[in-house]
Amino acid sequence: MVRRAEVAAVDPLARSVTTTDGERIAGDVLVLAAGSRAAPPRADGAEAHAIPLYTLDDAGRLRDRVVGRYREAAAAGTVRDGELTFVVAGGGATGVETAGALAEMCRGALRVEFPGVDPAGSRVVLVGHGPRLLKGFADHSGGYAAEVLRDRGVEVRLGVGVEEVGPGHVRLGDGTRIDTRCVVWAGGVRASGVAEGCGLPLGRGGRVDVRPDLTVPGFPGVLVAGDLANIPGPDGRPLPQLGAVALQAGRSAADAVLRGLDGAAPEPFRYHDKGMMAMIARGAAVAEVGHGRHVVRGRPAFAAWLAVHAALMSGVRERADAFVRWAWEALAPSHRAPGLHLSEEGRIDWDEEAGRSDDPGA
């Protein structure tokens, strides 16, 4: 039986959930795998003026906003302060990939689509709070990412965080002010709020602390998997919030349910670490694969990145078609601008810097 509904409350003792329409669903086993959400921004004004980047809608909104800025600059015949400056807050994989993609858009399709806009007026600034990019990767992988981004025109600022986001600027922890009308918040993720307030033991990142077999101490018949769980790794520290961890933990949780039907105890979850990878820009990526974390960089890593994402799709034909199409578009790019239907919400009121912006997310 499958039910499509939004969960409003969880009762782990009764192993039940209540949906937003008031329906209560109970079972012999409760498996929580509600994933994660964008972490709340820590900078003042970020929730009002920055664009989070977690969902497909967020990505579409950002793309529309960037092209909208170029369209307004072309209509005005001039680039005003901060109009084509794009600030990305976060030096992890999401921030790195976003900064690289923005640089590609500014240097490629947008430059061709809006030839009257001076390309020298555009800036992409990546701000990372840590001493290097791509925390969790090897030091030289983070260094390679910074080098590639700088070669593509991205200004990389490390060791400093974003302290304030206004309707037309950001202020960094060292006092630097950057005029901008588009701030992207890529500051990590936090567990879904499904488990909040239901009595389950919460730990780092709002995630549920679980045993190695994904069960929860004190709550028989409850399993938690994926980004919602702090799953202890071999060193005792929680496993990273990666798709590979979630997929494998999901299979382990399903196996535990089946074993329970036969009266057997669940087996400990053993994560098979296949490595990590991050796309930096067109034709450039970094991958750390295998137990020894063998490092692959550049075009081979980029091709591997495309192949892995295509492999996650369902259907052999769909995977093959997607890989060929993505590879062709990535390695032999056209000069067409993105086909977008832009709303009027992207227009800027240049006189409202002192007050609250009417441009949501600007």
Q: What's the length of the chain?
A: 362
**338 DSSP 8-state letter:** P
Dihedral angle sign, alpha carbons of residues 184, 185, 187, 193: negative
Identify which of 108, 124, 248, 107 has the alpha carbon closest to the alpha carbon of residue 178: 124
Q: Considering 6, 47, 83, 97, which one is annotated as catalytic?
A: 97
Which phi and psi (to 5°) does residue 256 adopt? -65, -40
How far apart, in whole angstroms, are the C-alpha atoms of residue 91 and residue 243? 19
How far apart, in whole angstroms, are the C-alpha atoms of residue 9 and residue 127? 37
Contact 122, 106 (CB under 8 A): yes
Radius of gyration over every alpha carbon of the chain, rounded to an integer in angstroms = 23
How far apart, in whole angstroms, are the C-alpha atoms of residue 222 and residue 260? 12
How far apart, in whole angstroms, are the C-alpha atoms of residue 149 and residue 139? 16
Provide the token pair at 348.
């800027």
**Is 97 among the residues known to form the active site?**
yes
Active site residues: 97
